[in-house]
Amino acid sequence: MTNDSAAVRGFGPVFVLLFGLQFISMGAMEMSGPFWPIQIKVLSPSDSVFGLVSVGVYVGPMIGMALTSTFWGRVGDRYGNRLMMVRALGGLAVTQLLVAIAQDVWTIMALRLLQGSCAGFIAPAQAYGVQITGGKDRASLFAWLQVATNLGSLAGAFLGGLILDRFPFAAVNLTAGVICALCAAVGWSSLPVPALGAVAANRGSAPIAKPTASTGVPIAALLALMGIQLASRMVLQVPFALYMTEVFGARYWAAGLTYGLQACGFVVAAPLWARLFESRAPSYVLGGNVLISAACVLVTQLAGSSGSVAVFALLYFIWGALLGGTTPVLLALISVAVANDRQGSVLGLAQTSQQIASASGIIAGVGVTQLFGLEAAFPLVATLYALSFLSALGIWLKIAHRKGSWV
């Protein structure tokens, strides 16, 4: 009891620091996110090169992270997740500064791939938080770190637009590089090194940190479910603005506002979902995800058939709110299934699967809309969510049957 209380009290300022570092670094990286097609268009020698590279600058970092996240997770387990957070922030700073001076589209695409290979702050941050707290309240921890990600994306895109209105594109990346370098310095100087003895004690006192055999959680199946849900979300990443302007005739500010409503829904709902699912049995969490996946099928079907911008925007907000009950709680469930000294490895593996799924969703969205038109985007999203519903249902039935409990 005393150890748990001390861990919670000690985690307060560390949580604020982790949240701040994730928010600021994500905001820095998203300053250029929405505007890459503008720069690539200027530098591309042909339309075909533009089409390829404009997708590559988004998918490249995901591929880089997919290739290296598991490796960095294992390194974090051996040498410390604190070091891995600083390494990720430093890698982002260096590659962002190099991107700022690059004037060739192929160099930019290669640097974006390298950037993804060096990046990956949130996975070691999650593992570090679990170490510091001994596994207490990990669903809330993961949810709030995802909230920081979404808030950073919103703020960064807005700030990047303000800079781009007044300065060249290179200024956006230079600013982002400096911010990430400052974040790395703050992380190295301010984040405490977890005490090995305290971590071991916390592991023994935290009732939810159980080995895989005792929880009965099928980690591979959960990673697959999370991947399908992420791919569903990312289908509209590239064609969203075109969908808004061509289908609804919306202006750019309306498209940007609607796009941001999904993140707002996530920010509002993720902590509530975390509180609902915290310390619940795996069958309860999976049962909730069955219902969430079904609701996502309905919401995306309605959004795809809506003829009103206002209704579409409301549905986008609801969709974001539903997403708050997916990735963070599933990650917490996966984290619970392994010991604290393996958090870096399993969360790095989860990061790898997330990046593969996100890249697959983007590629699928671009391919389907190019072949069948923008109207095919939402039917694809709804179909993928139907698949996630079936996957969640299958996992839930398996776990519930094994435990002899349906809640």
Banded model confidence at residue 97, pLDDT cuts 50, 70, 90:
very high
For the chain, give the longest Cα–Cα distance: 66
pLDDT tens digits along 319-341: 999 999 998 889 888 888 777 67
Better-scored residue on pLDDT, 49 or 311 = 311
Query: How far, in Å, CA of 345 to CA of 70, rounded?
Result: 6
Banded model confidence at residue 131, pLDDT cuts 50, 70, 90:
confident
Banded model confidence at residue 11, pLDDT cuts 50, 70, 90:
low
Query: How far, in Å, CA of 121 to CA of 324, rounded?
Result: 20
Cα atoms in the Cβ-side hemisphere of radius 13 Å centred on 265:
20
Q: Assign 402 to helix, strand or coil.
A: helix
Query: How far, in Å, CA of 20 to CA of 145, rounded?
Result: 9
CATH for the stretch 1-205: 1.20.1250.20
pLDDT tens digits along 359-373: 899 889 888 988 898
DSSP 67: H
- The H or E element containing residue 218 is none
What are the boundaries of each domain within the chain? Answer: 1-205, 210-407
Query: How far, in Å, CA of 314 to CA of 65, rounded?
Result: 33
- Residue 234 sits at the vertex; the CA angle it makes with 395 and 124, to the nearest 5 degrees, is 70
* CA-only gyration radius of the chain, Å: 21
State whether the Cα torsion 176-181-184-189 is positive or negative.
negative
Which residue blocks in 134-195 are alpha helix, DSSP H? Answer: 138-166, 169-190
pLDDT of 173 > 60? The answer is yes
pLDDT of 178 > 90? The answer is yes
Burial (CB < 10 A; 0-12, 13-18, 19+), residue 213, is exposed
Q: Is-same-fold flag (1-205; 210-407)?
A: yes
Q: Assign 64 to helix, strand or coil.
A: helix
Question: Which whole number is the average pLDDT over 378-388?
Answer: 95
Q: Which amino acid is at 238?
A: V
Better-scored residue on pLDDT, 300 or 246 = 300
Banded model confidence at residue 205, pLDDT cuts 50, 70, 90:
very low
In this prediction, residue 10 carries a pLDDT of 45
pLDDT tens digits along 34-84: 778 778 888 888 878 887 887 888 888 888 888 888 888 888 888 888 899
Least confident of 12-21, 328-337, 377-386, 395-404: 395-404
Banded model confidence at residue 206, pLDDT cuts 50, 70, 90:
very low
Mean pLDDT of the chain: 83
Smallest CA-to-CA distance from 32 within 181, 174, 180 is with 174
Banded model confidence at residue 8, pLDDT cuts 50, 70, 90:
very low
Question: With contact defined as beta carbons under 8 Å apart, do 359 and 65 qualify?
Answer: no
Better-scored residue on pLDDT, 242 or 185 = 185
Domain 210-407 fold is Growth Hormone; Chain: A; (1.20.1250)
Least confident of 27-36, 209-218, 272-281: 209-218
Smallest CA-to-CA distance from 306 within 378, 200, 388 is with 378
Query: How far, in Å, CA of 319 to CA of 297, rounded?
Result: 10
DSSP 250: -
Better-scored residue on pLDDT, 65 or 202 = 65
Question: Which whole number is the average pLDDT over 226-247?
Answer: 86
Query: How far, in Å, CA of 1 to CA of 201, rounded?
Result: 11
In this prediction, residue 216 carries a pLDDT of 63
Question: Which whole number is the average pLDDT over 79-90?
Answer: 90
In Å, what is the CA distance from 219 to each residue of 212, 300, 353? 8, 27, 12
- The H or E element containing residue 34 is none
Provide the phi-psi class of 135: left if phi over 0, else alpha when psi is between -120 and 50, else beta.
left
In this prediction, residue 287 carries a pLDDT of 92
